[in-house]
Structure 1
């Protein structure tokens, strides 16, 4: 009675695509298919990411719109009213 698996059972068979460890270069198509499948399983959109430049422009446009509408403060008013020196506890 032996409790060890034979080497072939542990290592897999190279004829069937199993090898020892990660390949040096993963198959990009297979990785893409797995990513899409995994995203579908958890309910995320399966399309590729949007163009980063387009995302940046849309976020910047939204911030500019909110500033123009007065929905967010720009900090300019606080700087004008603020004393350039910190408050002091010492009285003269």
Structure 2
């Protein structure tokens, strides 16, 4: 089980027992620092900005490859009653 870090903003004052509640908005500097550390841990350039267009193109290419291999059903143009059951089931009415 993962260790849960203390969050002083939420815990509030231990003397009164009153919680501070969630912050109205996250600390942007802290989030940016944590993102950089996470990127370093997995071996990515911490300063590089992820390019959304490149990521989308990669995902689109993967779906196209799976469709060509027949791993993805291309039945979106069929009426619902003619499509295979999802999730696949062994139950037959």
Name the TM-score, length of structure 2 as normaliser.
0.38
TM-score after normalising by structure 1: 0.38
Comparing both structures, which one devotes a greater share of its residues to helix?
A: 1
Point out the structure with max Rg over C-alpha.
Answer: 1
